[in-house]
Amino acid sequence: MAAVGDARTRRAAVRESTATTTSLADRAFRADVLAGLSGRPRAIPARWFYDRRGSELFEDITRLPEYYLTRTERSILSAHAADIASLTGPGRAVVEFGSGSSAKTPLVLSAVAPSAYVPIDISGEFLRDSVAELERQFPKLPIHPIEGDFMHRLVLPAALANQPRLGFFPGSTIGNMNAPAAVDLLRAMWETLGEGSKLLIGIDRIKPASVLIPAYDDAQGVTAEFNLNLLHRINRELGGTIPVSAFRHVARWNDTEARIEMHLEATRDVSFSVDGRPFAISKGKTIHTENSYKYGPRDARLLLRSAGWTPIGEWTDREGLFGLILAEARAIPAAP
């Protein structure tokens, strides 16, 4: 993963590191797609949604009336920025995981008087545009973007050595992992940020399917386009011949697992190739493309504790749709 240096050399360093990061990402994308189409059930990890087009479509999703998550989390952040800042204290380096457009970041940066900002995202071009915008808004703040997969080991820029840290993981992106992967990631964040660090994390809550399904299957079809863009991406980047119009977007609430599932369902028997390898999918069969797990308040706190993060503050909206938790990395005590 590519950590990027000081302001003077940042752009050149990003360009240099991007070549390596990109070719590693290309290989990982190819491997995940070929394995995912060969396995049963067919499934491709959700992180591959985010090429430039996918990141733009996600931004469109955040503005949909049905997609309550973004505006709710933003309203919680605005309402409680001062409380959050008094619990974190000033002068921390803010490290954001899956920063995307960094649209919510100014709310945090303005409140916590950070010493530096480190946005991490797999969607490189989009990350660079977001950083350029933030540099305009916070001209004195050192910004060190990292293009890469936050599921892999992460080395923070040397400039952050000895600086206290605040992790920021908004948007309920943690919900796109199953519980073991979520705990692994939270533990890795603990290791990366270090004991005494804080983590501000947004986690979407369990609620009726009548609210959840439209949030993931909106009337304008933007989420459908976001999901189908994965097939376009496979065709573009992996020499695929997938007939995209033969697939439809499906969003399901799986109550047992407490998750929204997104699938791409074949509307007829199809055969195609990817990277020269043949595949066939029968009518009605799906490719599972995303899980979005939802958590009750106690579940969310347990998840954090399981990875060594002790909740020290929690905020929600009036309807209790979404939870924002501030947690502290404490040494994990021996039982009991």
Name the residue type at position 135. Answer: E
Question: Which residues in 128-147 contact ligand SAH (CB under 6 A)?
Answer: none
Which stretches of the chain are assigned E, i.e. beta strand?
2-3, 42-43, 93-97, 116-121, 146-147, 165-169, 198-204, 247-254, 259-266, 270-274, 277-281, 286-293, 309-316, 322-329
From 68, 126, 216, 247, residue interacting with ligand AVI (rule: CB under 6 A): 216
From 4, 61, 109, 274, residue interacting with ligand AVI (rule: CB under 6 A): 61
According to the binding rule CB under 6 A, does residue 170 interact with ligand SAH? yes
Q: Which does 115 bind (CB under 5 to 8 A by kind): ligand AVI, ligand SAH, none?
A: none
Candidate ranges 29-37, 172-180, 235-243, 265-273; the one touching ligand AVI (CB under 6 A): 172-180
Distance CA 29, CA 154 (A): 19
Nearer to ligand AVI, 197 or 223 (CB): 223
Closest approach of Cβ 269 to ligand SAH, in Å?
32
Closest approach of Cβ 201 to ligand AVI, in Å?
12
Specify whether the CB–CB gap between 332 and 308 falls below 8 A: yes
Nearer to ligand AVI, 253 or 279 (CB): 253
Query: Residue 58's closest CA among 229, 191, 190, 197?
Result: 229
According to the binding rule CB under 6 A, does residue 47 interact with ligand SAH? yes
According to the binding rule CB under 6 A, does residue 54 interact with ligand AVI? no
Question: Which residues in 172-201 contact ligand SAH (CB under 6 A)?
Answer: 173
Angle in degrees, CA 276, 41, 307, rounded to 5: 110
Question: Which residues in 62-121 contact ligand SAH (CB under 6 A)?
Answer: 62, 70, 98-100, 104, 120-121
- DSSP annotation of 47 reads G
Cβ neighbourhood burial of 133 (10 Å; 0-12, 13-18, 19+): middle
According to the binding rule CB under 6 A, does residue 308 interact with ligand SAH? no
Sign of CA dihedral 66, 42, 97, 199: positive
DSSP calls for 108-125 = HHHHH--SEEEEEES-HH
Q: Which does 216 bind (CB under 5 to 8 A by kind): ligand AVI, ligand SAH, none?
A: ligand AVI
Number of CB atoms found within 10 A of residue 142's CB = 17
Specify whether the CB–CB gap between 169 and 197 falls below 8 A: no
Question: Which residues in 275-304 contact ligand AVI (CB under 6 A)?
Answer: 290, 292
According to the binding rule CB under 6 A, does residue 192 interact with ligand AVI? no
According to the binding rule CB under 6 A, does residue 130 interact with ligand AVI? no
Closest approach of Cβ 202 to ligand SAH, in Å?
7
Distance CA 245, CA 256 (A): 31
Candidate ranges 8-16, 28-36, 173-181, 206-214; the one touching ligand AVI (CB under 6 A): 173-181
Closest approach of Cβ 230 to ligand AVI, in Å?
11
Residues that bind ligand SAH (CB under 6 A): 47, 50, 55, 58, 62, 70, 98-100, 104, 120-123, 149-151, 170-171, 173
